[in-house]
Structures are given as C-alpha cells and as structure tokens.
Structure 1
Amino acid sequence: MEFKNFTYLLLMLGSLAVPLAFSFEKQVRFYTKLKYLLPAIIFTGAIFIIWDLRFEELGIWKFNPEYVTGIYILNLPFEEWLFFIVIPYCSVFIYEILNVKLPHFEKPQIFVGVSLVLLVVFALTAYFFREKLYTFFNFFLLTIYFGYTVFRNRFKQHYTKFYLTYLIALVPMLIINGILTALPVVEYNDMHILGLRIFTIPIEDFGYFFLLLLMNLTIYEYLRKTQFY
C-alpha cells in the first residue's frame, strides 16, 4: 500500500480535527448536542449510502482505488462511509458556532424568499435535465425535501443560520471536494451530469451538499426541540 492510498482517509481525518478539538469549548459545548446529532447523521447517512451504492452500481460515479485504503463495506470504500459522518459533524459544528456568536442575527423573511426562488430553480433543473441521472435525482430529491421543509414552515426560525452555515462550509467543501475531483478520488460519468463545474467540482455536488446539510439540520433541530430523550 502506498501513501496516496490514504488520501481520502487523511482528508476526512483532517476535516474532523478542528471541530473535534473545539467540541469541548465551554461556550459551545458541542459534545452535549451529540445525542441529537448522531440520529440525524445515521438516518441521513443511510439514505445517502443507499443512493451511493446504487449510483456506483450504475456506473454514474466510481472511486479510484489508488486513493483509498482498500477497505470496502458493501462495495463502498470505508472512507465514503466516514464522509457521511465527518461532513455533517463539521457542518453542524459551524451551525452551533453561529448560534453562539450571532444569537440575534435573524433574517427569516429574507431567507424564506431565497428559499422559494431556490425551490423553483431546483425543480426546473430536475425537470429540464431529467435525462441526466445524477442531475435529475439530485435536484428532484432536493426539491421534494426542501419543498416539504419550506411549506411545513417549522424550520423558518433556523433559515438564517442554515444559509450562513452552508456559505461558510462551502470554503472547506471547495478544498476537500476540489481535491477529491481533481486527483480524482471520485470519477463521474459525463453522460449523467450537466458538465458544468466550479474548478473540478460538478455543479450537482453543490446541490448534493445542500441536501446533506439540510436533512441533518432539520432532523437535528426537530430532535432538539421535541427532546424525546
């Protein structure tokens, strides 16, 4: 095994290092919220893993064996499973930092308007590019879940921090996903994507990350509000 086989693993561990180190910071005390975050990660991760497995089987994307350790679970690299733990953990950590540092910065009405515009954009993208499987499936699921979130109206008070989290998290996402797609660790079938990229990252991945963050945060906030345990 060569050093480059640890590329994906090191990216995940490196991403986790800072949030994990500051999870015990007195003002944030992020570790106390794990009882709400872990179920969100497990539920959301299960959906994305099923999606991942199916798309890998269909050849819509594949993982380059040169950049993974060779440990596979259900035909997916171990690092890919780790991705659905690390990225939500880091993202929700950013969300909680914003809640602590900007407790009174709320613009729900503005972001409701932004959400309605995005919902239309997502729906139209899914419809007009339905022959591209990654594009269609990505934006179709995003339209359904985002539409449910918007019209159910229980997440409205969290819109401001959600969007700020997404925008801030785009910075590490551009670095990590940029490396994953540049080497590439993950290779996409051009038949099933639009072909529009930011650097080397397919535009679909930005919707994919939006949905991943949205699902984790809506479940996280629901469990925290209801406090079943």
Structure 2
Amino acid sequence: MEKFLYLVLDVFSFLIPFAYSFERKHLHFIQYWKPYFLAILLVGLFFIAWDVYFTVEGVWGFNNRYLVGINIFYLPLEEWLFFLLIPYASNFIHYSLKYFFPKPKLTPQSSFYLSLSLFILSAVVAVLNFDKIYTLCSFGLFSILMLIQLKYGFAIFQRYILSFLIILIPFFIVNSWLTGAFTAEPIVFYNDDENLGIRVGTIPLEDFFYCFSMLYGSILLFEHLKKKRFEH
C-alpha cells in the first residue's frame, strides 16, 4: 500500500470535485471542461518544466518508498498527475464558493492595496534571497503575478483571494502528507539550502506562494478562454 500513497492522495483529492462536476442543478461544471482543462494544462506545462529542472538540480526530490515507480522526464507519474488533478480540485472549490456564496469579496480599493502589499513583500524576499533558488523563484513569480494584478486589476482577485483561504485547508492537509507529517519519511523532500528553512508544520513557506501562482494563473487563463468560447 505504501507504494501507492502519493497516487491515492492525487486521486482522492480529485474524486469529489470531479463527481460534482456532473451535477446539473447548480454548477453543472462539465460545460466548462474544455477551457478549464486547457488552462490547467497550459499553466501546468510551465510548472512541470520548473519541476523537472528543480528535481535535476536537487532542489527537491521524491521518495521511491511511496511511488509506483513510473518516471517520465525525471518526474514520477504521481507528480505529473498532481499538476492535472490538484488544480482541478482546488479551483473547483473557488467556483463552488462563488456560486453558493456570491456576496463575500474585497472592494476594488482593498484588492489594490492587498496586491500592492503582497507585491512589495514578495519582491523584497526574492531580491534578498538570490542565493536560494526556490525562494527566489517562488516569491519572484508571485511578485510578477501581483504586478500584473496591479496593472490590470482583474476583478476576480476580489473573490479568489478569499476562496484561496478555504483552498488552503485541503492544500495544507495534502501537502502535509507529502512533506512527512503523517509518514515515517517525506514523500517529497526539500534541500533546505535552497529555501528559507521556514516551515508551516512540515510545509516549506515557499510552497504557499508557489501554489497561489499556479492556481491563480490557471484561473486567469480559464476566465479568458471561457469568455472567448462562450461569447462566440
């Protein structure tokens, strides 16, 4: 059973959102599958390339004790599935919350100042840690995303930043499992010379910024693709 642990985490995280995608009374999310999966795949390609490079460079690695043993371009099969299944499940939470609880959102002004604060904070951390590649890349990419948010003022940020606080709950559980909170050894291990060495539980702080960049990036692309598809 140990050999299937990462695979089980991937699939279990995906199953409930996937099942509810067919529900017709409310979201009926299946109607958006084509632009949704396309957005996830396109953004995922960038993060997979990042993942391959970091794996080769020893920034992080994977424990064969918990893997089925199929590797593609230095990454285990489970890691490839992670970039498809976890973004699907995570952002499905956002759209469910948006449907059932439409009112809670930040004001445009609050959204601007939050984006500005996050941009300054992440940019400073990135600049001060050029010698730590994971810190530099995770905070650096996040700061670029916040700069784009400041420039274009995407209204979806007003809702998504609140949804992300809820998404962090399953993210924390799954990532804690991957980083060794519930296993004898971590499934995914990190070279702490390349990060700040700050952990939230067993999760490197950088993972939270990495996660937001991946998920929000796919949301922005999905909204763009959905608008093009359903307006024509």
> TM range, normalised to the smaller chain?
over 0.9
Count residues in correspondence.
Answer: 225
Tell me the alpha carbon deviations over residues 38-60 of structure 1, each in whole angstroms, 9 at most, x when there is no partner. 11111111000000000011111
Structure 1: gaps of 5 or more residues: none
User: 1:72 is matched with which residue?
Assistant: 71
How is 1:151-170 mapped onto 2 (pairs within 5 angstroms)?
151-153=151-153, 155=154, 157-170=155-168
How is 1:49-198 mapped onto 2 (pairs within 5 angstroms)?
49-109=48-108, 110-153=110-153, 155=154, 157-182=155-180, 183-198=185-200
TM-score, reference length from structure 2 = 0.93
Give SS of 1:227's match.
helix
Structure 2: gaps of 5 or more residues: none
> What is the distance in 2 between the residues matched to 1:94 and 1:12?
16
TM-aligned CA deviation for residue 165 of structure 1: 1.9
Amino acid at match of 1:193: N
Tell me the alpha carbon deviations over residues 97-156 of structure 1, each in whole angstroms, 9 at most, x when there is no partner. 122112233323222221111111110110111111100011111212331232122x1x
TM-aligned CA deviation for residue 207 of structure 1: 0.5
TM-score, reference length from structure 1 = 0.94
> What is the distance in 2 between the residues matched to 1:171 and 1:42?
24
- Give yes or no for contact 1:28–1:97 (8 Å, CA) kept in 2: yes
Give SS of 1:187's match.
strand
Amino acid at match of 2:122: F
Identity over aligned residues, as a percent? 39
- Give yes or no for contact 1:91–1:165 (8 Å, CA) kept in 2: no
Which aligned segments of 4 or more residues in structure 1 are displaced greater than 6 angstroms?
none
> What is the distance in 1 between the residues matched to 2:47 and 2:209?
13
Give SS of 1:205's match.
helix
1:9 to 4, 7, 10: 7
